[in-house]
Chains A and B, each alone.
Chain A
């Protein structure tokens, strides 16, 4: 809880494949279930005065913004219906 960014801790390599997950708001499983709230929804399509359509492919993307908070529980990897997420600690196996 306390602010400790200098505290060294293992940080995973994380990827979200935005080709596989191209309409995240129709799923948003990882956003909802990650206990560490690691993911962020990014708006890619940004046209002034036009409402962004949540069903349009590639209008939004999921990004592992807070990967420094990831515990490696793999809840997101297991839940993702499109196999779009990888989490890798150290040189260990990519899941």
Chain B
């Protein structure tokens, strides 16, 4: 079981437990080791993580210590986990209200602004959406509220384009966001893959290839944002490294022969503790 299910699941997968979207959970306590930075607690946590990341290039000898601190703050304040499309659909049924917004990571990494429909790749969930003016650098005079049905269509659209759905907490375990992510724009994916800062956890599922069904078309290979899929040229089959797989299911959707399925991580003894 993942650490969040253990502490916040109460017998369920934690993000399927309605309690983790409840108004009462929206407290945003300051992390005790966080400096204030005059900002909201998530913002302060993000700065601590960024400080560690920058130290990798500026003062490498400090990196291990800062990385350790970043890990702790990330998990307590702004943790993420990859979810399948199906589970993301369940999440938007549990959370209310739902609002679309631009991606803060893509603004930081690529300078993308909220200037067209395609920049709205993130979704804010729950009560925090009524207080969005707390984030002045992103505030646009309001957020774009959507219905559950619209949210589902939006999820399908981005999933089909090849983006990974991942949830975000705003003070763990309060789940306040559902983002559509890719590498290297998504800071959470990048921090994990390139810096070993585990803000983003692997999903409850993992991709499994049916060797006989795979026709070797190679369509799935380019879909993986985590580099888990390779094409074995001489065998003409795909290979999925289940240790690298984060369980987004984006490869499965695209396979024309239905050779990829998502299996519960807990059914694989070698993977059930790997998050």
Interface residues of A (CB under 8 A from B): 1-3, 5, 11, 14, 24-25, 28, 31-32, 36-37, 39-43, 45-52, 54, 63-69
Contacts and interface: CB of A to CB of B under 8 A. Distances in A.
A42 B46 CA distance: 12
Interface residues of B, number: 33
A68 B134 CA distance: 33
Contacts of A42: 108
Nearest to A30: B111
Given A48-B134, A51-B139, A66 B110 contact: no
Given A37-B110, A65-B53, A67-B58, A5 B195 contact: yes
A85 to B, nearest CB: 14
Given A1-B193, A47-B136, A48-B136, A65 B111 contact: no
B39 interface: yes
B63 A32 contact: no
Given A3-B194, A5-B196, A68-B57, A52 B137 contact: yes
5 contacts: A1-B193, A3-B192, A3-B193, A51-B139, A66-B194
Contacts of B193: 1-3
B271 interface: no
B140 interface: yes
Given A11-B57, A66-B57, A67-B57, A51 B136 contact: yes
A41 B134 CA distance: 19
Contacts of B141: 51
A61 B160 CA distance: 34
A69 B39 CA distance: 29
Given A47-B136, A68-B56, A37 B184 contact: yes
A64 B133 CA distance: 28
A79 to B, nearest CB: 13
B256 interface: no
A1 B229 CA distance: 13
B196 A40 contact: no
Nearest to B56: A68
A22 to B, nearest CB: 15
A24 B110 CA distance: 11
B60 interface: yes
Interface in B60-75: 60, 63, 67
Given A41-B108, A49-B133, A68-B57, 6 more contacts: A28-B110, A36-B184, A48-B136, A49-B134, A51-B140, A65-B50
Contacts of B108: 40-42
Contacts of B39: 46
B113 A5 contact: no
Contacts of B58: 67
B110 A31 contact: yes
Contact of A40 (B50, B60, B67, B194): B50
Nearest to B184: A37
